[in-house]
Chain A
């Protein structure tokens, strides 16, 4: 397809939906990196479709060398997407480049600027694939909820007396806010989970997203449940399962240094 370098990959996929294949399935909503719905694997790296641009991600396919290693199988999570593509009409412009077992490729040649090459897409790793680029990420939300991701402060909620505000906000100085503000920007997109070599969904490692959300409340000066929160993560499938690979930090669309935050959590738990 035709694309300019500054187009996002979401722009390209929407164009495919409009003009080539309306059946292509992928989640998207706000289109500018706030809703967190469009995390997928781009060239094998988890990222958001709406913030990834063609010039950032397009790569020229390399011709296999004579003596190079040859792939002997296909990754199982690619099969579904490959079937999708195989059943598409035989329009050459959308035939996926089937190099090295990759699937749902969106190739982007541009006539005046030459050939952008290929961008390979698949569903977010670590989660079951439902259709094309849609993964079932319920396990992430369930794990976030397991760690009680809500403020547990000391006061009662404001009452509704006639026209009068008879309670005030909890006070929190800017330096206290700074301790957790960036953590509260987590959009639960799952990029950190998909990047983590330990996380595999299900009941094992609780995952970086849940830990970041726990840390958000542990570091909130208004919260009174720190001990219980630390107990909840001080388990074999909690912080002990983290191997400090720190892949989770690299692509966080909100700039959270997830790996460092987890490292700090580990230190805090040990210091107790």
Chain B
């Protein structure tokens, strides 16, 4: 479903229709400000743009749970959740943000339930909760049941419920539109709008907006083995870089310990919470050596590193589907879980194992391997979702620009995210951003005398008197780019004007790499250089490849069909270019952090170094890095032991 026409000016454009984007839309629509503007006949114009159709966003793949100290199963306290989040993030967490996360988590989960999420239930009808890695009682003592769940499909439930609520409010969507440009004013102090490619019509739209919220998700597709969908290509982060903004802590990529062997498909942490045990080639339950207290339910980075250490020590196993291949997996032993309980508690996990590994988890051990899962870093935002630049040791807001969810970094996850905290971050901070957005729109309405037209409001947004249409200029440039990509084939193929596809030309040879092939190459380069562990040498090597040959190849990409409508290759080219820009930023930021912390393990700097690096990296497109102090409020850094 798509807009019949593009408005001249939107009050808010949300890019992305997963948990964060939809929560922001609902936060805005449910706010008092929105209600009163609507009552006055000033209903703000909102558009949600997504490169996917509705309900396809990757939120739907989240399995295990959403964390909140509801205390429905046993006593819990939000202060413990607060502590666990900070410790899990290896003290790189901004504590003011984590405090909000833990404190408002119960309210967020209850709001989701009351919106329709079909949570699993206790016998007396309350939301059921299960244990999850790193979530403890009494500040790190015993594991606690904190993750509210819905069998193992919590993400699906949340995504569908949020969409249903948006549908009930008549939110307008632009589906399968790909945002190519984020447009700021000359001084990068205010947002002007975005440029979007409508993949159906093949048109490029200039979309003017007083406010833009980016909620485009993570960048797992930087790596070959990833649990992320094919669409998680870091678009929002790349848009921010290209617009001259910075990314925060982008060197932190979480590898989930239990991807299903070489497929990367996630086997939920719930599989270990319900009793699954990791074993090496000798059958040893090795996690008791690395984390004697919490063993298989230690934080994700610790489990992933332990698996890698076993593999590096020669105690890995080959993927049974590729028995001659590298011994880069370990076993997940679920045979100790009662078969009927396993089917009930982990239906999706069981189905995935049966379908994609062709084995029975109640009888056979399952091959697993760490899989790129979550991008901790991202576009820096305030506690209210406002994007800022870190300039001269202070935060300078970009007026009207917001971000939420995995593409953003409010820094609740620090150097490593706890399971159950990502949906929480997306829903909670997404909603906060939406409410702030509504407040801002209301202020703009009030600043104008009633009845004034949109044009005057535009002027108040513009940075100076000589107003120019920066969005239209960016759209014009993008059209030129689009035509170049489309018509690269035309010189070799007779033009085909009746709209049928002239398709791949005769000179297309195997050596003519396309966007899809290049994406695979990038994944391999990043996997070698930075998956789970890295060193200066591995980073250098990857950077030299990326900045030379790869970058040339990415710039030479072109489409093999000159029909713009439903031309997926066009989007794929822009995605690969986005990923390439992001990859180099990530590698530079990684190289600059000469310590090991959370998900980042430097083989050449194995210790955490608070004296030099208890700080957030802030990197821009020119790879200029500055450091922003961590907000320490209540909990001074400690050693991190599980």
Interfacial residues, chain A to chain B (CB-CB below 8 A)? 6, 14, 17-19, 21-23, 25, 27-37, 51, 83-84, 87-89, 130-132, 134, 137-138, 141-142, 145, 148-151, 153, 155, 157-158, 160, 163, 165, 167-174, 176-177, 180-181, 184-185, 187-188, 220, 222
In the bound complex, CA of A177 to CA of B116 (Å) = 12
Those 4 A-B pairs whose CB atoms lie nearest each other, nearest first: A151-B116, A171-B125, A131-B566, A150-B164
A7–chain B nearest beta-carbon distance, Å = 10
Question: Nearest Cβ in chain A — how far from B427, in angstroms?
Answer: 13
Once A19-B517, A23-B501, A138-B1 are accepted as A-B contacts, the answer to whether A149 and B114 lie under 8 Å apart by CB is no
For B125, the chain A residues whose CB sits under 8 A away are 171-173, 176
What are 21 A-B interface contacts by the 8 Å CB criterion?
A18-B516, A25-B566, A29-B229, A30-B60, A33-B351, A33-B355, A87-B503, A89-B503, A131-B501, A131-B563, A141-B54, A157-B30, A157-B111, A163-B103, A163-B104, A165-B110, A169-B119, A170-B113, A173-B125, A187-B156, A220-B116
Min CB distance B319 to A, Å, is 12
Q: For the complex, give the distance between the alpha carbons of A158 and B106 in Å.
A: 11
With A35-B229, A149-B164 known as contacts, the answer to whether A22 contacts B569 (CB < 8 A) is yes
Tell whether A158 pairs with B111 under 8 Å between CB atoms, given A18-B516, A51-B355.
yes
Question: Across the interface, do B60 and A158 meet the contact criterion of CB distance under 8 Å?
Answer: no
Contact mask B556-598 → A, CB, 8 Å, 1/0? Answer: 0001110101111100100000000000000000000000000
Q: CB-defined interface of B115-129 with A at 8 Å, one 1/0 digit per residue?
A: 110111111111100
**Quick one: CB contact mask for B86-121 with A, threshold 8 Å, 1 for yes?**
000000000000000001101100110111101111
Q: Which residues of A contact B198 (CB under 8 A)?
A: none
A-facing residues in B31-65 (Cβ within 8 Å)? 52-58, 60-61
Across the interface, do B569 and A23 meet the contact criterion of CB distance under 8 Å?
yes
A174–B355 CA distance with the chains assembled, in angstroms? 28
Is B1 within 8 A of A169, CB to CB?
A: no
* Residues of chain A contacted by B339 (CB below 8 angstroms): none
Task: Name the contact of B61 in the complex, choosing from A30, A145, A158 (C-beta under 8 A).
Answer: A30
Cβ contacts under 8 Å, B164 to chain A: 149-151
Interface of A is mostly: loop
Would you call the interface of chain B mostly helix, strand, loop, or mixed? Answer: loop
Closest approach, in angstroms, between the C-beta of B103 and any C-beta of chain A? 6
Cα(A25)–Cα(B54), bound, Å: 19
Would you call B265 and A36 a contact (CB within 8 A)? no
Chain B: minimal CB distance from A53 (Å): 8
| Closest-CB distance, A94 to chain B (whole angstroms) | 10
Closest Cβ neighbor of B53 among chain A residues: A37
| Least distance between B502 CB and chain A CB atoms (Å) | 7
The residues of A that contact B116 with a CB separation of less than 8 Å are 150-151, 220, 222
A32 touches B114 (CB 8 A): no
Contacts of B229 in A (CB 8 A): 29-31, 35
Complex CA distance for A17 and B572, rounded to whole angstroms: 11
Residue B369 lies at the interface, judged by CB distance under 8 Å to chain A: no
Contacts of B165 in A (CB 8 A): 150
Q: How far is the CB of A72 from chain B (nearest CB, A)?
A: 25
Q: How far is the CA of A168 from the CA of B156 in the complex (A)?
A: 22
Q: Inside 8 A of B617's CB, which chain A residues have their CB?
A: none
The residue on B at minimum CB distance from A223 is: B116
- B520, CB-defined interface residue at 8 Å: yes
Q: Would A157 and B115 be within 8 Å (CB), given that A31-B229, A36-B56, A188-B55 are in contact?
A: yes
For the complex formed, measure the closest distance between the CB of B155 and the CB atoms of chain A, giving whole angstroms. 8
For A177, list chain B residues within 8 Å (CB). Answer: 118, 120-121
- Which A residues are in CB contact (< 8 Å) with B126? 169, 171
Distance in Å from the Cβ of B351 to the closest Cβ of chain A? 8
**B505-539 CB contacts (< 8 Å) to partner A:** 505-506, 508, 510, 514-517, 520
B111 touches A18 (CB 8 A): no
Nearest neighbor of A138 in chain B, beta-carbon distance: B1
Contact (Cβ within 8 A) A168 B56: no
